[in-house]
Amino acid sequence: VLLLENGGSPNPMQNVPFYFQSLLHIPQIDYEYYTVPQKHACLAMQEQRSFWPRGMGLGGTSNLNCMLWQRSSRHDYDRWAKLSGSDEWKFDNVLRNFKNIEDYHGSYNNDKWHSHDGKGVYVSTVEHTNLLEEFFEAGREMGYPTKNVNGNQEPRSAFWGISSFSGTSSQQDEPTHLQIFSCFLKHLDQKQTWRLVTYKRHGVERFVKAKREIIISAGAIDSPKLLMLSGIGPKDHLESLGIKCLINLPVGRNLMDHIMAMFGPFTVETPGKTNVLGRDITLNTVSDYFSKRKGFMASAIGANAVAYVHSSLSKEGGNILNKPPDIQLLFIPASLSVPDAFEDFFKFKKGVIQKYVNGFEDKDSFMVNVMLGKYSSRGEIKLASADPTKKPVMDPKYFSHPDDIRRMVDGMNFTVEMAENTKAFRKIGTRLINRHLPGCEKFELKGEKYYECYARHMTSTVYHQCGTCRMGNGIKDPKAVVDSKFRVLHAKGLRVVDASIIPEIPNGNINSAVFMIADKASEFILDYWAKVDNYKQGRRGVDKELLSTAHIL
């Protein structure tokens, strides 16, 4: 196997979860993509653009991942099966793949849902317990039990599962059967079948011929970019850039992303309940991590619990047990102690966060990231030019669908109700700070218009871009780019295997789903070529007509 990857081996510093944010914006390991200015969102961001980090090196953007491990709802994968026309994508049939990829050592060990044979990604549960008791008790007061969200997910709360190994980021060793080149992939060449790849290495343009097939795994942004540069994509768009369209497919469309409002801070009167920089995160914290691989630094963003709930929109149709919860609440028991660093990381306008939290930096407080699990807006990715060195044009069109802001406001209302009106949080004196976010002063605090304004200003990506090479039901599906086995339609010898094939975004963090997709792809690929080899050897097991057409869908 020849692997073409820009960036080489991961940086050793990427093994430390706590360094996640500080390693962004470094051009040697991050492409530093930005969206176009957003009309309905990101109002507090510089130029109203969302920062989308993209990782260089073996492992790609997973090297910059927060390692939050959520399988999402079984209903999401049953929906994939319907959209792709293949029952292989039903949850009961992908559960095996989820178990294949994990070595589970979390708090909900159950052989029905998890594997712990030591062969997969080490999945554990975060160990810092700040405010966990209050969070879970508040959830139970509101009718949400504390159970495993990575089993048969229902509306509930749970410990946060992370993919880590002894407090380090989960990075697999380089397989010995791979030949790895650090390069810049330029485009594919078609000659009856898709076999040639043109790339640059050390400034020299080269090409390589694949014996069997080409698999693109460049992610939801760069996989569609590569296909379009190669002549596979929307005909009008390609021809407007002088690129000959070889296969007219909706590449780059259907762009989805989870978005969140970083909501808070919620102050806590009882001291010592949360993490405050200077008081709780000290040299002892560093020593504890490097000696025991435990503590606050073993978590990428300080989160330790999650809840899934239904919005009023989801409840309107009734029968919520047959729907995935559409709101995720990520609980972060830490204060915004360094607002200027927070502004720099998320690329907020200078001074917005500093003004908002001024005087609260050293007080016990927590944040809740209110995330849209189910997302109705759809964006697109286009080429900026035919020059492969140019970054693509990315427009997620955040909040362009009215249902999304409605769900977000519901999630914020739920969070305030939980933090201020449950016995669990009232006994420690929890309150949302009595101050307007800059830009939302004209709205009444804690009113729906204020929450909407807050969400439109504090919009953040959750780094879950997907869907731009959508999997569908073969050539009869006008929205599809690949079929249920990842094969590019109307092409031979070409697959896409990454988050771009996701037809509808699942309701949880997509890292584990992408691992599952990779495991599923390995089964499809091995099975296909085993049948081809058997046929060539004169054995039974593959139909001649199937062999000639299965990879030219």
pLDDT digits (tens, 9 = 90+) for 199-244: 887 788 888 888 889 999 999 999 999 999 999 999 999 999 999 9
Is-contact 229 187, C-beta < 8 A?
yes
The secondary structure of 477-508 as a DSSP string is: -TT-SB-TTSBBTT-SSEEE-SGGG-SS--SS
Are 78 and 91 in contact by the 8 Å Cβ rule? The answer is yes
522 — pLDDT class (breaks 50, 70, 90): very high
pLDDT at 25 over 70: no
Give mean pLDDT, residues 492-500.
95
Confidence tier at 187 by pLDDT (50, 70, 90): low
Mean pLDDT in residue range 385-411: 96
Instruction: Give residue 66's pLDDT band: very low, low, confident or very high (50, 70, 90).
Output: low
* pLDDT value for 319: 73
Model pTM score: 0.89
Q: Which residue has the higher pLDDT, 450 or 202?
A: 450
Question: Is beta strand 259-267 parallel, antiparallel or unpaired with respect to 459-461?
Answer: antiparallel
Q: What residue numbers does the annotated binding site for FAD cover?
A: 61
Q: Which range scores top for mean pLDDT: 282-286, 297-301, 521-525?
A: 521-525
Q: Which residue has the higher pLDDT, 278 or 2?
A: 2
Residue 538's pLDDT is what?
72
pLDDT at 10: 66
Closest CA to 158 of 295, 308, 275, 17: 308
pLDDT band at 255 (very low <50, low <70, confident <90, very high): very high
Please, which residues bridge with residue 179 across strands? 2
Find the mean pLDDT for residues 348-361. 95
Q: What is the pLDDT of residues 256-271, one digit of tens each?
A: 999 999 999 999 999 8
In the predicted model, what is the mean pLDDT of residues 73-82?
95
User: Does 182 or 361 have the greater pLDDT score?
Assistant: 361
pLDDT of res. 68: 78
Q: What is the predicted pLDDT for the residue at 173?
A: 47
What percent of the chain shows pLDDT beyond 90? 55
Nearest to 301 by CA among 45, 498, 509, 451: 509
Known binding-site residues equal 61
Give the DSSP H or E segment for 185: strand 184-191
Least confidently predicted of 162-166, 205-209, 341-345, 507-511: 162-166
pLDDT digit string, tens, across residues 135-180 = 999 999 998 888 777 777 766 555 444 544 434 444 444 444 445 4
Higher pLDDT, 101 or 283: 101
Residue 246 near residue 352 (C-beta atoms within 8 A): no
Place 184 in a pLDDT band, splitting at 50, 70 and 90.
very low
Q: What average pLDDT does range 52-73 have in this prediction?
A: 75
Token duo for residue 495: 């697959």
How much is the pLDDT for 175?
A: 47
Q: Give residue limits of the domains in the chain.
A: 3-169+256-466
Question: What CATH class does 3-169+256-466 carry?
Answer: alpha beta
Please report which confidence band the pLDDT of residue 348 belongs to, taking 50, 70 and 90 as the band edges. very high
* pLDDT score for 525: 95
DSSP code, position 471: B
One-letter amino acid for residue 387 of the chain: D
Of 28-32, 44-48, 214-218, minimum mean pLDDT range: 28-32
Q: How confident is the model at residue 300 (pLDDT cuts 50, 70, 90)?
A: low
Tokens at 534, concatenated: 């058997």
What dihedral do alpha carbons 439, 442, 444, 450 form, nearest 10°? -40
What is the model's pLDDT at position 190? 67
In angstroms, rounded to a whole number, what is the distance separating the alpha carbons of residues 384 and 382? Answer: 6
Q: Residue 118 — pLDDT band, cuts 50, 70, 90?
A: low
First to last CA, the chain: 24
Lowest-pLDDT range, 39-43, 259-263, 278-282, 366-370? Answer: 278-282
pLDDT at 354 over 80: yes
Rounded to the nearest integer, the mean pLDDT of the chain is 85
Split at pLDDT 50, 70, 90, the class of 553 is very low
Q: What is the pLDDT of residue 186?
A: 55
d(CA 84, CA 105): 33
pLDDT value of position 420: 97
Average pLDDT estimate for 496-520: 95
pLDDT tens-digit map of 303-335 = 788 899 999 998 887 777 778 889 999 999 988
Nearest to 332 by CA among 301, 289, 299, 300: 301
Average pLDDT value for residue range 423-446 = 97
Least confident of 38-47, 212-221, 276-285: 276-285
**What is the model's pLDDT at position 156?**
57
Q: 548 falls in which pLDDT band (50, 70, 90)?
A: very low
Q: Is the peptide bond before 265 cis (omega within 30 degrees of 0)?
A: yes
